[in-house]
Amino acid sequence: MTGFRLNLTPLKEPLGFIKILEWLTAIFAFGSCGSFSGRNIITLFCGGVRNETLNVTIHYPFRLNEVMLVSANSTLCGRLVQETHLVGDSAFSAEVFVAVAIMAFCYSMATLLVYLGYMDSYRDPQGSSWPQTDFSMTILFATIWLVCSSAWAKGLQNVRDATGTAGIQATLSVCQAQGVVCEVTERANMRSLSVSVVFGFLNLVLWLGNVWFTYKETPWHSRTPPAEEVPVRRHVPVPI
C-alpha cells in the first residue's frame, strides 16, 4: 500500500457520498436510542379515597422487568400492594441496534479514510482485495440493518404497550379492584425512539443502495467474458 495522499474526489462520486450519509445516519441511530431516558406519571383514582400518584423512570436499555413500579408492602387506595415491576424486556433488541449503529459508524469512518487517502491502492488492479472486502461488508451491514431495525421496532412497540395505561392496569393488581381507576396521566416523550427506528430503516436503504456502487469497484464487475472464436471458412476450390 502506498503512502497516504489526500484526495477529495471520491466524495463527489456515489461511492464516497453515500458513505458520508451512512456515517451520519449511524450517528443519529445510536444517539437517539442509546441516550433515552423518560418518566411516566401514573395516577390512581381511588373513588372517595385520596388519589395516589406513581412515578416510573424508563431508560435505555429498557429492561422493564427491573423497573420497580411499586415497592414492597406499599399501601395504595387503602389496599396493601406487593412489590410490582413493569413487564417486558427489550434490552436485547435495543442493545443490538445500538451496537450495529456504532459498528456501522466505525466502518464508514475507516472506509472514508481509505477512499480519501488510499484510493489508488483501493483501485489497484494488481491483487487489491479492498473492493471485494468492501462489497462483502456492505452486503453484511445491509442484512444486519434489516434484522436489527425490525427487531428494535417490535421492541419499541413492546415498551409502549407495557408503559401505557392498558399495560399498567394489567400489571398493577390494585388497578383491577372495584372503584379504582389507573391512568397514565403523563407519558415519557418517546419521539426520539421513533426517530431511531426511522434512521435504522434509512440505514438499510443506504447500505442496500451502496451494494451496487461497491460491486462496480470489484473485478467481478469489470471482468469481461472472452470473445467467442468465429470459425474461419476455408475456400475450397471448385473442380473444373
* pLDDT tens string 77-127: 888 888 899 999 999 999 999 999 999 999 999 999 988 888 877 777 775
Distance CA 185, CA 206 (A): 39
In the predicted model, what is the mean pLDDT of residues 33-47? 91
* pLDDT tens string 127-142: 568 888 989 999 999 9
Residue 124: the pLDDT is 76
Measuring CA to CA, which residue among 19, 7, 25 is closest to residue 145? Answer: 25
Residue 62: the pLDDT is 94
Phi–psi pair at 62, nearest 5 degrees: 65, 45
Give the CA dihedral 18, 19, 24, 29, nearest 10 degrees: 90
Distance CA 186, CA 14 (A): 46
Distance CA 22, CA 108 (A): 7
Distance CA 156, CA 160 (A): 6
Least confident of 28-32, 56-60, 199-203, 233-237: 233-237
Q: 227 pLDDT exceeds 60?
A: no
Give the dihedral sign, CA 171/174/177/181: negative
Average pLDDT, the chain: 87
* pLDDT tens string 43-85: 999 887 778 899 999 999 999 999 999 888 888 888 888 889 9
In the predicted model, what is the mean pLDDT of residues 23-32? 94
Residue 231: the pLDDT is 52
